[in-house]
Amino acid sequence: MKKLLSLVLALAMALSLASFASAEDYSGYTIRIYSNSNSTERVNWLVNEAKNAGFTISLDDNSVISGDTAAIQAANENKDGDILFGLNETRWGQVVGGTYENLKLVDWTPSWADEVGEYQYPGKAYGLVIQNVLMLYRTDDLGTKGEKLSFKHWADIVDCGYTWYRQGKVGGTTNSNINSAMLYSFVDPESPAGGISVEGWKTLWNYCANGVFTGDSYGFDPLNRGDVQVSTFYSSSLFGNIDNAAAGSEHPLLGVLEPENWAIVEIEDGTYYIAEYMGILDREGRTEEETAAVKAFAEWFGSAETQAAWADEFDSYPCNTVAAAQIYDETPAIYTLKNCSLTKVEGTDMTYAEYVGAHSSQWTNIMTNLGFYWADQSAAPAEPDWDNIDWTVMTQKAE
């Protein structure tokens, strides 16, 4: 349960801002930030709070950069970044491992490093927000009419007997995480189809072909309206959306102050957790004084006070345990689910998150080349001839 701490947090934030602002004014250097956690609301909040703390930052919202792929590519191509935050273990493993030629991280250990526990790449990047993808369903007359939904695998949604919402494009962080959850039970390190069995791709095609796409960005709104009975959504902002559900539906999902008419599908495999991290980029030509400003910003942004305020504002769950204790009486159920991303993949020395990172470009190419996630149902492509696909070609980017 979330604590009612807005006033207390505001006072703590004010003290934190005053502490940083009084220590030194870093506003003379514009800190260039790349992130996929960049809704207009988040960008405006961070720009204003950073200014109050003595920092000047530049951060594009999602009308300019949308999704983790776009954020990481822009940072790598522009070579002008100071801070990288958001993304997930898949991308951060690649950044730390040197996949992107123009993205190198400064060695850095913040004062709050011990407060984020396992969510860190020591000396390189540190956790900000815990995020996972959820499968939700209505339990009322617009849903299962009280029937409880329990699956062994995420992919069992295609045989659930209810209508489900599916996304309408290949790219995007949340969409990618949903795909990772869907493909988990089909891992096959020997498969030429991107390390996923052909049966897995058939099932994902079924998910697309028989799912409902309503044009919404994510799956909350169609579930809230009653357009579908089962849907997927990301954990951050879930409860905030439920609090405002009545504004978008005549039959809204109900929150904790009323009997809930929705639930989380129990899935034996668990869900695909990720954490969003922050690291300092080694920007060529930056002076020691400018680097000091960047480090001070990172110290401030990841601190318990700032992360508690961020979590309170955007209904997220902080990696910082001190911040989490300020916000929540107890860990919400959506953050206690089993985490399949940290499970070791049999036949490899990788966790599933690392496995996803190793194959993500192949998966994107497969889905793009075969035409997954069409937005117009009337123009749906023909199902592939699965027995005669040249996976060597399909796993490569189309020319």
What is the model's pLDDT at position 5? 53
- Pick 223 or 377 by higher pLDDT: 223
Percentage of the chain lying above the pLDDT 90 cut: 76
- Pick 300 or 97 by higher pLDDT: 300
In sequence order, the 6+-apart residues with CB closer than 8 A to the CB of 20 are 53, 54, 55, 296, 300
For residue 375, is pLDDT > 80? yes
For residue 7, is pLDDT > 50? no
- How does residue 16 score in pLDDT terms, banded at 50, 70 and 90? low
What is the tens place of the pLDDT at every residue in 126-142? Answer: 999 998 899 999 999 99
317 DSSP β-pair partners? 130
Residues 382, 379: Cα–Cα separation, whole Å: 9
What is the model's pLDDT at position 379? 87
Residues 171, 152: Cα–Cα separation, whole Å: 26
- Pick 380 or 398 by higher pLDDT: 380
> What is the reported pTM?
0.80
What is the model's pLDDT at position 23? 59
In sequence order, the 6+-apart residues with CB closer than 8 A to the CB of 209 are 380, 383
Poorest-pLDDT segment among 49-58, 223-232, 325-334: 325-334
- Pick 178 or 91 by higher pLDDT: 178
Q: Is residue 296 within 8 Å of 199, Cβ to Cβ?
A: no
What is the tens place of the pLDDT at every residue in 26-54? Answer: 999 999 999 999 999 999 999 999 999 99
